[in-house]
Amino acid sequence: MSALIAATLIAPLLGAAAGLIAPTTRLRDGATIAGIGTAAAAAVALLIRVANDGTHVVRVGGWDPELGIVLVADLFAVLVLPVALVIIFVVEIFAIGQRRTAWGANPELAGPLLGVLTTGVSLAILTGDLFTLFVAFELILVSSYVLLTHQGTRGQIRSGMTYVVMNLLSSTLFLFGVAFVYAATGTVNIALLAERIPELSDGVRLGIGAWFFIVFGTKAAIFPLFSWLPDSYPTAPTTITAVFAGLLTKIGIYAMIRFHTLTGMDELGSTMLIIAGATMIIGALGALAQSDVKRILSFHIISQIGYMLMGLGLFSAAGTTGAILFLIHHMPVKTVLFLVGGLIENDQGTSNLDRSGGLASRRPLLAAFFAIPALSLAGLPPFSGFVAKFSVIAAGIDASATPIVVVALAAGALTLLSMTKIWIGVFWGTPPDDKATRSEAPGNRTTMLAATGLAVTGTLAISLFAGTLFDLSQRAADDLRSAAYVTAVAP
């Protein structure tokens, strides 16, 4: 099992290195696809193994957990890992189809950088200590900075600055946080922290909890720290935005679920719920005000983060289960929506609602690919969003947290409203006059549609296997809330 864990970290990096030196496009694509694909396959195998055999811990270099790096494949990690890696794999296929269009990323860089990003994501999910988490965040962010700005257009540089400055600030705060934690407890290992942080005095303990809430919250784009997200995401090439939308904020919320649940920061719960409610509503209202497909979808990311934060903030077994399930559902759905956004842009030369229309009759398949994840995101049955939203809201009702449940339901209705806005603007009505000539955009539509179709099938599979996933999420949540994680890492 250690080999599988190593494969998820090393294969994409090797693929990226080979991709950078490969002489031809075909070889470069082959190298990056092979790297990311190997990692994704290893992650799926890891899920099966861990679900059957339990948590597996790798001590890198054989060091004691107090001193060395540990990689922990617990159920929570291996539930999120395959979803994340398969998403990157699908997007890389989409990117290969899209590269010759005006909205495609620069293929020289995008493939290898996606490989580096993949390693960062695997490391962030598998790591068992705070400092390696910091390094993993940096690995993800550095490749995301370059992916976001590598075309060097004016809009990208402008919004890239906001993105880099905000994330750099949160990384610096993260480093300060590591120093505080080390000064207070003498370790950065999360399992040991789970034992030692509850023994600290209340002021220090909650200070650390609040500090990391801000650090991870900036990465996750919670209210009021989200301003960088809707500005920067829409300016990047579609494939890049799809990966960012599906993964980056979710890694922040993943770290938050892991850290705050394991260290038992229950007292922060009410603050988290208030911020979760504000995040949901502001995100949904922000989406309503926009008139561009990608910007609407960007605001939806923020709104959806609120639901995961709500599940976490309840600090109950059902709440954590809901948050984990929501995380798993949200990643592929959001990615598909952005991929469809890219296809829309390809077809009519813009993603602006005012300058598009009539796509449902011209591209019925595209309309279906949009409708399924859109309804899923709004939380309508029988799609995956319904199961996820239901479990979070049911947990809220169980904990008799009525205000947040009302807010969550209202935000769901607002999400549906803004999705309807996209539907009316893009898919209904008559196409604007001069668009017929532009619809012959270059790029391999078949590859792009196949990749999107694959991702749509993935989201449908999540709703089909919702029962199994719910059980697994429940076990993962129990592991986090009990001492199972601690005993596995530091017996």
Partner 1 sequence: MSIALLATVGGLTTVGLYLITARSLSRIILGFALLGHAAVIALLAAGGPPGAPPIAGNSDEAIANPLPQALALTAIVISFGLTLFLLALAGRQHQLTGDDLVEDDLEDQRIARTSSTESSNES
Give the interface with partner 1 as residue ranges (CB under 8 A): 67, 131, 134-135, 138, 142, 145-146, 149, 152, 154-155, 157-162, 164-165, 168-169, 172, 175-176, 178-180, 182-183, 188, 227, 230-231, 234, 289-292, 295, 354, 421
> Would you tell me the crossing angle of helices 269-289 and 202-220 to the nearest 10 degrees?
20
What distance in Å separates the CA atoms of residue 12 and residue 2, rounded to the nearest whole number? 16
We find the least distance from the C-beta atom of residue 176 to partner 1, in angstroms, to be: 5
- Tokens coding 349: 């030369």
Q: Is the dihedral of CA 368, 372, 375, 381 positive or negative?
A: positive
What distance in Å separates the CA atoms of residue 340 and residue 448, rounded to the nearest whole number? 9
We find the least distance from the C-beta atom of residue 237 to partner 1, in angstroms, to be: 17
Whichever of 138 and 478 has its CB closer to partner 1, that residue is: 138
Q: Which of 186, 179, 177 is nearest to 209 (CA)?
A: 177
Answer for the pair 379, 412: CB distance below 8 angstroms, yes or no. yes
- Give the contacts of 474 (CB within 8 A, at least 6 positions apart): 317, 321
Whichever of 239 and 290 has its CB closer to partner 1, that residue is: 290
Phi-psi region of 236 (alpha: psi -120 to 50; beta: other; left: phi over 0): beta
Answer for the pair 221, 252: CB distance below 8 angstroms, yes or no. yes
> Would you tell me the crossing angle of helices 384-398 and 293-313 to the nearest 10 degrees?
40
We find the least distance from the C-beta atom of residue 317 to partner 1, in angstroms, to be: 34
- The SS3 call for residue 17 is helix
Residue with tokens 């960012």: 244
Answer for the pair 219, 170: CB distance below 8 angstroms, yes or no. yes
We find the least distance from the C-beta atom of residue 333 to partner 1, in angstroms, to be: 24
We find the least distance from the C-beta atom of residue 119 to partner 1, in angstroms, to be: 15
We find the least distance from the C-beta atom of residue 390 to partner 1, in angstroms, to be: 30
Q: Which of 441, 460, 427, 458 is nearest to 97 (CA)?
A: 441
Whichever of 420 and 468 has its CB closer to partner 1, that residue is: 420
- Indicate the pairing of strand 70-73 with strand 56-59: antiparallel
Whichever of 178 and 240 has its CB closer to partner 1, that residue is: 178
Whichever of 152 and 203 has its CB closer to partner 1, that residue is: 152
Q: Is the dihedral of CA 142, 98, 417, 415 positive or negative?
A: negative
What distance in Å separates the CA atoms of residue 79 and residue 50, rounded to the nearest whole number? 9
Answer for the pair 173, 215: CB distance below 8 angstroms, yes or no. yes
Whichever of 74 and 292 has its CB closer to partner 1, that residue is: 292
- Tokens coding 88: 């990157």
Query: How many other β-carbons are positioned within 10 Å of the β-carbon of residue 138?
Result: 17
We find the least distance from the C-beta atom of residue 316 to partner 1, in angstroms, to be: 34
Whichever of 51 and 146 has its CB closer to partner 1, that residue is: 146
We find the least distance from the C-beta atom of residue 165 to partner 1, in angstroms, to be: 6
- Tokens coding 213: 């809430």
- The SS3 call for residue 482 is coil
We find the least distance from the C-beta atom of residue 158 to partner 1, in angstroms, to be: 5
What distance in Å separates the CA atoms of residue 114 and residue 92, rounded to the nearest whole number? 8
Whichever of 76 and 163 has its CB closer to partner 1, that residue is: 163
We find the least distance from the C-beta atom of residue 177 to partner 1, in angstroms, to be: 9
Whichever of 38 and 238 has its CB closer to partner 1, that residue is: 238
Whichever of 233 and 383 has its CB closer to partner 1, that residue is: 233
We find the least distance from the C-beta atom of residue 69 to partner 1, in angstroms, to be: 11
Answer for the pair 258, 216: CB distance below 8 angstroms, yes or no. no
Whichever of 44 and 285 has its CB closer to partner 1, that residue is: 285
